[in-house]
C-alpha cells in the first residue's frame, strides 16, 4: 500500500512538473513571438523614418539642381548674339560668359555635384534593403508562430495549452493597401 501511494505521488509530481514545463515552454514561445513582432515593428519604423528622410534629401537636391539650371539658362539668355565683326559685341559676350562661368563656379562650390540621379539610385538600393529586412523579420515572426501553433496541437501539449488558455496565433497578414504602397515625391 505504501509502495503504491509512493508510486502514485511520484507519477503526480512528474505530471505536475511536466505540465509546468509545457506551460513554461508555451509562455516562452509567446514571448518569442512578441519579440519577433517587435522586430517587424522596428523595421517598419526604420522604413518610415528612412523614406521620409531620403525623400526630403532628394527633394532638396532636386530644388538646388533646378535653381542651378535656371541660373545657367538665365545667364545664357543674357549673352547677346555675337556679331563677329563688332568688337563691342564680342566684349559684351565675353563679359556675359565670364558672369555665367562665375555664377556656375559659385554654384558648384556651394553644391559641388548634381546629385539627384545618384540619390534616386541610392534610394532604390535603400528601399530594396529595407524591404528585405522587413521580409526577414516577418518570416522569422511567422516561423515562431508556426512552431508555437504546432506545439499547441501536439498531444499531450494540447491538453496543457487548453488548461492555461493558450490559443493558436495567426500568421502575418498585410494591411489593406500594403500591396499598393507608393513613394511620394510631391
pTM: predicted TM-score of the whole model, two decimal places: 0.55
Most confident of 3-12, 59-68, 116-125: 3-12
81: confidence class by pLDDT, cuts 50, 70, 90:
low
Q: State yes or no: pLDDT of 103 exceeds 80.
A: no
Distance CA 123, CA 116 (A): 10
Q: Which residue has the cell 538600393?
A: 125
- Quote the pLDDT of residue 9: 92
Torsion angle defined by CA atoms of residues 156, 162, 163 and 166, in that order, rounded to the nearest 10 degrees: 110
- Quote the pLDDT of residue 186: 64
Nearest to 116 by CA among 65, 75, 73: 65
Per-residue pLDDT of 3-49, as tens digits, reads 898 999 999 999 999 889 888 888 898 888 888 888 888 888 887 77
Per-residue pLDDT of 151-174, as tens digits, reads 888 888 888 888 888 888 888 877
- Quote the pLDDT of residue 104: 62
Q: And the C-alpha cell for 73?
A: 539658362
Q: What is the DSSP-derived secondary structure letter of residue 172?
A: P
- Quote the pLDDT of residue 14: 93
53: confidence class by pLDDT, cuts 50, 70, 90:
confident
Percent of the chain scoring above 70 in pLDDT? 67
Give the residue extent of every domain in the chain: 2-170
- Quote the pLDDT of residue 12: 93
- Quote the pLDDT of residue 136: 87
In sequence order, which residues have a C-beta less than 8 Å from that of residue 151 and are 6 or more positions away? 25, 26, 29, 157, 161
Distance CA 161, CA 23 (A): 7
Query: Who wins on pLDDT, 113 or 176?
Result: 176
56: confidence class by pLDDT, cuts 50, 70, 90:
confident
Q: Is 152:168 a contact under the CB 8 Å cutoff?
A: yes
H-helix segments, 79-115: 87-110
Nearest to 66 by CA among 111, 122, 121: 111
Nearest to 113 by CA among 66, 65, 76: 65
Amino acid at each position: 500500500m505504501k509502495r503504491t501511494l509512493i508510486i502514485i505521488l511520484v507519477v503526480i509530481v512528474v505530471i505536475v512538473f511536466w505540465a509546468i514545463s509545457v506551460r513554461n515552454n508555451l509562455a516562452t514561445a509567446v514571448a518569442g513571438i512578441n519579440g519577433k513582432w517587435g522586430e517587424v515593428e522596428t523595421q517598419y519604423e526604420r522604413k518610415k523614418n528612412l523614406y521620409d528622410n531620403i525623400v526630403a534629401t532628394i527633394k532638396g537636391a532636386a530644388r538646388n539642381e533646378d535653381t542651378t539650371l535656371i541660373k545657367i539658362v538665365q545667364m545664357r539668355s543674357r549673352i547677346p548674339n555675337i556679331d563677329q565683326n563688332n568688337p563691342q559685341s564680342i566684349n559684351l559676350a565675353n563679359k556675359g560668359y565670364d558672369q555665367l562661368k562665375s555664377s556656375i563656379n559659385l554654384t558648384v562650390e556651394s553644391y559641388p555635384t548634381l546629385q539627384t540621379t545618384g540619390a534616386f539610385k541610392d534610394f532604390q538600393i535603400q528601399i530594396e534593403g529595407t524591404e528585405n529586412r522587413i521580409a526577414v523579420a516577418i518570416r522569422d515572426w511567422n516561423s515562431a508562430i508556426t512552431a508555437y501553433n504546432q506545439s499547441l496541437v501536439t498531444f499531450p501539449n494540447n491538453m496543457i495549452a487548453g488548461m492555461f488558455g493558450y490559443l493558436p496565433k495567426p500568421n502575418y497578414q498585410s494591411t489593406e493597401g500594403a500591396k499598393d504602397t507608393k513613394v511620394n515625391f510631391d
